[in-house]
Amino acid sequence: MGLKIAIVGAGPAGFYAAEAAVKSFGGSAEVDLIDRLPTPFGLIRAGVAPDHQSIKAVTKRYAATAIASGVRYRGHVMLGRDVSVDELCALYDAVVLSVGAPEDRRLGIEGDDLPGVLGSAAFVGWYNGHPDFADLHVPLDHHGVAVIGNGNVAIDCARVLAKTTAELAASDIAQHALMALESSSVRDVHIIGRRGPHQASFTTKEAGELGHLERARAIVKAGDLPPEAEDAALEPGHRKMVSHLRSFVGGGDPSKPVTINFEFFRRPVAVEGKTRVERLIVETTRLEDGRAVGTGELHAIPCGLVIAAIGYTTPPIAGAAFSDAMGRFVCDEAGRISAGLYASGWARRGPSGTIGTNRPDGFSVIEAIAADFAGGGSEKGGSDKAGGAGLDRLLAERGVRVTDFADWERLDAAETARARPGAPREKIVSVDEMLGLLG
């Protein structure tokens, strides 16, 4: 009998690991993809911006893996609630934790617990229809919003806030978010970064999109840009991104009512307000040996919503070695946590890279499993483990309503059927509604 492998987390990291297992073991392995939601695809479904539909096309590749020989999808199964790491390790030869980094990092400044301070995972989950955040209160009744961070997630948040509902109509943005944005009072979005344009991690595409919005214009202060000659030292892609930022000096068409203000060399020091967010206090910084150093000069940015796009952490899971300092599991370079237990994707290396960065992670962890179990299944326990059959029995005893990939296909069809004109789908944002539809 072949190896029995459980992969916890059906996002990019999990699917790439499953694909690698299929290719490595030629279909002889039994692979169970386990996710806490009834729906697969993780951040592709709930993290990629709804107006970036081309990126979501990778789910077709994942779907092919889900129906490959030896692979099963087991949704609505939560690690720690329905089954433990130790139980999975007793059932399977190898367990791969591909659970991502779903929790927002806190700002860690005074006032960061005021109503109106949100993490980007929560805000993005809200407009993408993630069941955890469908009922999130997102205050859009103030003209100002501060988005803290200088990466693509910060730009995604700013762009969604600045677009018209007509621009978003053909996306798969959740209906509740579209309705809230339609009545939004937001007119001034501020993207705040401790360092300058050369240190920002926006991509060319994300930065360039801000120059083509119907009602919004991006603004960069000329004084925040280094001399243009210094751009020559940048990598070509980064140099192109900075050229987009240079084009935003002057502010573009003044008749556009919404502004996206790049606030470089600003460090958030406090959020202020009596009962909710009213302003963000930032300190002007300067670079010393590449580090942002405060100057003592403070400014107030009026706003009713603060979105922290400063990174994410993986939650600790009983039975898996975890580093609080790193915010991820403790493992070797191949992803080994302990005998038979592995990590892949953000849970292994931290929240960095693109969707495709998870592919080599998935393949390397399967290579490690293949090496660890070289020589056959029986002496390594491969033929003695109960695998998926044992998991099914355990979950049935506990009354867990498990969903499979055929259930997802039914949900997919239902979402597609209920889509507004021009949109690819209207997401079902309640787990109870999903399970009720499946019967």
pLDDT in tens, 87-141: 999 999 999 999 999 999 999 999 999 999 999 999 999 999 999 999 999 999 9
> What pLDDT, on a 0 to 100 scale, did the predictor assign at position 325?
87
Torsion sign (Cα): 27, 30, 34, 38: positive
pLDDT tens digits for range 60-90: 999 999 999 999 999 999 999 999 999 999 9
Mean pLDDT of 368-387: 73
Q: Are 67 and 406 in contact (CB under 8 A)?
A: no
Distance CA 244, CA 15 (A): 35
pLDDT tens digits for range 199-241: 999 999 999 999 999 999 999 999 999 999 999 999 999 999 9
Instruction: Name the 3-class secondary structure at 261.
Output: strand
Phi/psi at 225 (5° precision): -95, 135
What's the helix, strand, coil split of the chain in %, to 5? 35, 20, 45
Pick from 147, 141, 88: which is nearest to 337 by CA?
88
Q: Please tell me the pTM assigned to this model.
A: 0.94
What domains are there in the chain, each with its CATH number? 4-102+314-438 (3.40.50.720), 105-308 (3.50.50.60)
Distance CA 290, CA 33 (A): 42
pLDDT tens digits for range 142-198: 999 999 999 999 999 999 999 999 999 999 999 999 999 999 999 999 999 999 999
Torsion sign (Cα): 29, 35, 39, 43: negative
pLDDT tens digits for range 255-283: 999 999 999 999 999 999 999 999 999 99
Residue 146 host element (H or E): strand 144-148
> What pLDDT, on a 0 to 100 scale, did the predictor assign at position 145?
98
pLDDT > 60? residue 379: no
Please name every residue paired with 267 in a beta bridge, in sequence order, or none if there are none. Answer: 283
Q: Are 18 and 33 in contact (CB under 8 A)?
A: yes
